[in-house]
Amino acid sequence: MTPSDFNRRRKRFAAWLVERGATMLAPIDKKRDLLRWAGGGKVSYVHRGKGDRLYFMGLAEAAWTAFLAKAAWAFPPVAGEAAELPAGETPAPKAEPRKRKPSRPRPPYPLQKTARDGVVRVAGIYRMPAEAYHADPCPEPSLSNSGARLLHQMCPAIFWHRRLDPPVPSRAQSLGTAAHTWILEGEAFERRYVTLSPHHSNRSAIGRATVERIEAEGRTAIAAADWHTIRAMREAIEAHPFAANAFRGGRPEMSLFWQDAYLGVWCRARPDYLPDRGPIIVDYMTARSVHPEDLRKALVTYGYDQKGDWLIRGARALGLIERPSVAYVIQQSDPPYPVVVARLTPATLTGGRMKNDRALALFARCLRTGTWPGYGDEDVVELDLPEWEHRRLQADSEAGHFDVARILRGVRLTPPATDTTAADQRAAEVAATP
């Protein structure tokens, strides 16, 4: 089925949908959205992707199949309402359920079941929502990759404060999370996000009420422009020769929990994509720039080295992969959304392991003592100029930049006028002081 085949039947298909109670909607992307409508409590659409490939989202595929087969079909009931068929049509007989083969093999690793109280007491791999993972379901405080990075780069006091009161994510972070969900989990995006109308405005009472209703349902509202950006980012991923196959043959968003063999503290990780077969764990992230020089700076700033070692550490602790490695799929958040696939050198991973060892030791000590010190709680901080500033001062001194006599050469200075009486009186007071 090509877009031209669909377009030949689009008007008849739209009329067929309207007969069944659908409301036609304006396309978000006029070039790629072939048809968009609301019905059955959700928005459905037919989208043209890369290579003229058609994507049927929502109820679109079921409706299109029934339309081609000229079969009776109706939108599913909403909020207890009964589904109604057009006059003269009778419900189609229910087909016998057919046994479907699993689309992908079962993972070679066993999945643990979360206890009824939600507490993770057994080390292993769990499938759980992101909210449950970030709430730390371990029996005592556990350390994640972001926590280890924060402990190394800052101090225990800041780490503990942000653990108790997490900062509100920025707009760029929220957009990255939405892109992360759409690229890695696909259909889960529709369960968690609702795309707003292109004409939506939070300044109006109706716009604010719409967002409040969506949030009350436990979902997140996303602007139409952001949705267009996310789809373009996914298309760039699919067009990349390496990244297109990075998220196949595995499981997204699995949660790993283990106890450190030496310190006994609980640790957790949530790899973006865990392979069913093979040694490569894939991690997806967005960046302002994917220029190699900018990525080297970001490696230090955002702790890519620590994250790589942390994922490898978790896979080894649970015996998932004998010799695991990590590949980063990094995508620029600006058009044309270029993609870079990167792997860390052994020396970089060694540095990340050293930083994580230090963070684990700090975490274990603070957890056992119950104190989370700041930067200067244990000793007086002595401030010294950076080494590069010392070198610059030395060079300026040798060049004569601090020669005051040279600076004042040829300048006639007039000393300030002084009150002789007051000066003599002050001198007498100093001489009389024992």
pLDDT band at 92 (very low <50, low <70, confident <90, very high): very low
At 107 the pLDDT is: 60
Is residue 103 over pLDDT 80? no
Do 11 and 141 share a domain, yes or no? no
Instruction: Please write the tens of the pLDDT for every residue from 134-193.
Output: 999 999 999 999 999 999 999 999 999 999 888 887 777 787 788 888 888 877 787 888
In-domain check, residue 261: yes
In-domain check, residue 344: yes
pLDDT band at 425 (very low <50, low <70, confident <90, very high): low
Q: For residues 408 and 405, give the distance between their C-alpha atoms in angstroms, rounded to a whole number.
A: 5
In-domain check, residue 197: no
Q: What is the mean pLDDT of residues 5-13?
A: 86
85/39: higher pLDDT: 39
Of the residues 69, 92, 108, the one at which a domain ends: 69
Do 157 and 33 share a domain, yes or no? no
Report the range of poorest mean pLDDT among 5-19, 76-90, 202-216, 384-398. Answer: 76-90
Mean pLDDT of the chain: 83
Q: For residues 346 and 353, give the distance between their C-alpha atoms in angstroms, rounded to a whole number.
A: 10
In-domain check, residue 251: yes
Q: For residues 112 and 323, give the distance between their C-alpha atoms in angstroms, rounded to a whole number.
A: 23
Total number of domains in the chain: 2
Share of the chain above pLDDT 70, in %: 88
In-domain check, residue 183: no
Helix (H, G, I), strand (E, B) or coil at 330: strand
How long, in residues, is the chain? 434
Do 264 and 361 share a domain, yes or no? yes
396 near 402, Cβ under 8 Å?
yes
In-domain check, residue 420: no
Helix (H, G, I), strand (E, B) or coil at 417: coil
Is residue 232 over pLDDT 80? yes
In-domain check, residue 18: yes
Number of Cβ atoms within 10 Å of the Cβ of 204: 11
User: Per-residue DSSP letters for 81-96?
Assistant: PPP-PPTT--PPPPPP
Of the residues 23, 45, 69, the one at which a domain ends: 69
Q: What is the mean pLDDT of residues 193-221?
A: 83
Do 353 and 276 share a domain, yes or no? yes
Instruction: Please write the tens of the pLDDT for every residue from 369-406.
Output: 999 998 877 778 788 888 999 999 999 888 888 888 88
Do 135 and 11 share a domain, yes or no? no
Per the structure, the complete domain to which residue 309 belongs is given by 124-168+239-369
Do 152 and 288 share a domain, yes or no? yes
Instruction: Please write the tens of the pLDDT for every residue from 104-128.
Output: 555 667 788 877 888 899 999 998 8
In-domain check, residue 330: yes
- CA angle in degrees (0–180, nearest 5) for 107-111-112: 175
- Nearest CA among 28, 395, 388 for reference residue 197: 28
pLDDT band at 83 (very low <50, low <70, confident <90, very high): very low
What is the pTM assigned to this prediction? 0.65
Instruction: Please write the tens of the pLDDT for every residue from 328-360.
Output: 999 998 889 999 999 999 999 999 999 999 999
pLDDT band at 432 (very low <50, low <70, confident <90, very high): low
Return the CATH number at 131: 3.90.320.10
Do 58 and 134 share a domain, yes or no? no
